Amino acid sequence: MLNRRNFLRASGGVAAAGALAGAVPSVSFGATGSYERLRAGLQGDLLLPTDSGYDLAKQLQIAQYDAVSPQAIAYCETPQDVAKAIQFASSEGIAVRTRSGGHNYSGWSTGEGLVVDVSRIQHAKVNGSTLKVGPGASSIRAIEALTPYNKQIATGTCPTVCPGGFFSGGGIGYQTRKFGTGSDRVTAATVVLADGSIVRASSSYDSSLLWGLRGGGGGNFGVVVDWEVRPVDQPRMVWYEQWWDYDQAPAIFAAWQAWMANGSDDLAGQFVLVTPDAAPGAKPMVLTTGAYLGPQSELETALAQLNSLAKTAPLSKVVADLTYAEAMKRTYHCDQLTVAQCQRAGTTPDAQLPRTGFQRESYRVFNREMTATEIEKVLAAYDANRAAGHTRVLHVMGLGGAANRISRTSTAFWHRDATFVAGFVNQLGANPSATDVQAATAWAGNGGRVLDPMSSGAYVNFTSTELTDWQTKYYGGNYNKLRYVKFAYDPDNFFRHPRSIGS
């Protein structure tokens, strides 16, 4: 059948789509539809507001989005379930949001229409040199599956983030400086498109779709139901954690930036300022933590270099040569938990990890080190407007290495000159007061404005509450091609959220 997508693919895909871009028709959304018809056709479950379990089913990782009440949540168990849910929503004119792990900071994986949940598509199977992983196989589950093979993939710093969103936005973790972003090692993806068709995008077929899926952001082109990833042979990691005196924070931050930027590809890590309760007078804590993907002796030498650059020594230091699974479980604070327990509370009977109540954040990507004056400004913004009961974090994660030896245009992930990503994060308990919400929003927003002029862009997986010019900041020069891919594969803009391609 020659439809618009086939035409665009046959006629050179994205180039031809350019001529048609701008003619995207809008769809009307909002009809309630006959959900019983969908329920009857699904292998998985459909939860309506009147069904028991609905309140749990609508939850994301951050409790503030409990305020959003979807018409229904479809727990899809197969690609065919996904296709049925999409065709149903399309025929009924119901807006769809796609959800895997539900970790999007900005709540893009929920909405007032139908949530297509693929968290139950959680296979993780190694076949030769390929890992086939479902969008709902959380990091901790993927790690468990890889362990017998002594292999790893990029997994971020949260055990329950899922590949559905993680790879779609790029995916950065302790493996990134050595092996690239998570999506750099994706070779193919099976996707359910807006018309319900199921395609396998690879370098041979639907290659522009695969290009867009590798860093172009989740919820844009279709619902990924399977990723094919090339894991790396890397059974062990040397995990480290150092706590420092806050009085030395400017020197430690300056030293950390240079240390990370000039370090071996084996070096991965984060610089973190954290104030669990930011009441006036409370002293923040300084943490440098991460992993080394080479021998422990080399890490010890590198850590001594950091002390020397900072001209101070940490208050405490722990270094441990661990398996991939052990190192990541420590990173996740799950080393005393089973895999079944290391899940978001409510998602399985054993799950123990609490949700975040409320969060505001502003992140930017950097392609250079901050100067001493810039560090002063950042630390002043961090210390500003103290508020009791607010958890405040300055979170900086090292990038670069192998991720920067790939061209900007070979995948949709643009930030190939980045040395780190940094953000202000303000967390509160569930149901905060309006005053606290306002203070958190102002603090994180001000942090973003301080970071902005020093930065080279922003990372779509670390969304920012406020971000002007998000198209350029998230996607740089790849945005136009993303629009073409969007038009080729979702011409009616069926998959959309507040920052979706073309919105």
448 binds ligand FAD (CB under 6 A): no
Tell me the closest approach of the beta carbon of residue 174 to ligand FAD, in angstroms.
9
| Least separation in angstroms between CB 380 and ligand FAD | 26
Residue 465 binds ligand FAD (CB under 6 A) = no
Helices 249-262 and 372-383 cross at an angle (nearest 10°) of: 120
CB proximity list for 464: less than 8 A, separation 6 or greater: 361, 362, 363, 364, 423, 448, 458, 470
Whole-angstrom Cα distance, residue 133 to residue 113? Answer: 27
Q: How far is the CB of 394 from ligand FAD (least distance, A)?
A: 15
Least Cα distance to 399 among 254, 268, 287, 242 occurs for 268
User: Which is closer to ligand FAD, CB of 168 or CB of 257?
Assistant: 168
Site string for ligand FAD, 49-78 (x = CB under 6 A): ------------x-----------------
Q: Does 173 bind ligand FAD (CB under 6 A)?
A: yes
For residues 304 and 317, the answer to whether their CB atoms sit within 8 Å is: no
- Cβ within 8 Å of residue 59, ≥6 positions away: 65, 66, 102, 346, 355
Q: State which H helix or E strand residue 241 sits in.
A: strand 236-244
- Indicate if the alpha-carbon torsion angle 91, 93, 94, 99 is positive or negative: positive
What are the helix (H) ranges across 180-235?
207-213
Nearest residue (CB) to ligand FAD, 156 versus 284: 156
108 interacts with ligand FAD by CB under 6 A: yes
99 binds ligand FAD (CB under 6 A): yes
From the list 17-25, 218-226, 232-240, 423-431, the region that binds ligand FAD by CB under 6 A is: 218-226
DSSP bridge pairs for 318: 241
Establish if 103 lies at the interface with ligand FAD (CB under 6 A): yes
* Range in contact with ligand FAD (rule: CB under 6 A) among 99-107, 145-153, 309-317, 474-482: 99-107
Task: State yes or no: residue 101 binds ligand FAD (CB under 6 A).
Answer: yes
- How many chain residues are in contact with ligand FAD, going by CB under 6 A? 32
Query: Which position among 97, 185, 344, 392 is part of the footprint of ligand FAD (CB under 6 A)?
Result: 97
Nearest-10 Cα torsion for 203, 181, 321, 128: -10
Residue in 33, 79, 113, 171 binding ligand FAD, rule: CB under 6 A: 171
Q: Which residue is nearest to ligand FAD (CB)?
A: 218
Distance in Å, CB of 313 to ligand FAD, minimum: 27
Q: Which of 89, 142, 162, 237 binds ligand FAD (CB under 6 A)?
A: 162
Euclidean distance between the first and the last CA atom of the chain, given in angstroms as a whole number = 28
Q: How many CB atoms lie within 10 A of CB 446?
A: 17
User: Site for ligand FAD (CB under 6 A): which residue of 13, 44, 79, 164?
Assistant: 164
Q: Is 385 left (phi over 0), alpha (psi -120 to 50) or beta?
A: left
| Among positions 70, 135, 216, 491, the unique one binding ligand FAD when judged by CB under 6 A | 135
Q: Is 166 in the site for ligand FAD (CB under 6 A)?
A: yes
Told to check if 219 binds ligand FAD by CB under 6 A, we report yes
Calculate the alpha carbon distances from 397 to 172, 268, 269, 392, 417 in Å. 9, 8, 6, 16, 14
Residue 161 binds ligand FAD (CB under 6 A): yes
* Strand blocks (E) in 296-434: 316-323, 358-366, 391-398, 420-428
- 289 or 310, CB closer to ligand FAD? 289
Candidates 223, 229, 378, 467: give the one binding ligand FAD (CB under 6 A): 223
Closest alpha carbon to 431 in 63, 112, 69, 55: 63
Q: Any contact of residue 278 with ligand FAD (CB under 6 A)? A: no
Nearer to ligand FAD among residue 254 and residue 415 (C-beta): 415
363 is a contact residue toward ligand FAD (CB under 6 A): no
Which residue, chain included where needed, has tokens 């468990």?
144
Q: Report if residue 215 touches ligand FAD, rule: CB under 6 A.
A: no
495 CB neighbour count, 10 Å cutoff? 24
Alpha carbon distance 82, 118 (integer Å): 8
Q: Which is nearer to ligand FAD, 118 or 428 (CB)?
A: 118
Q: Which residues bind ligand FAD (CB under 6 A)?
A: 61, 97-104, 108-109, 118, 135, 156-158, 161-162, 164-166, 168-169, 171-173, 218-219, 223-224, 461, 497
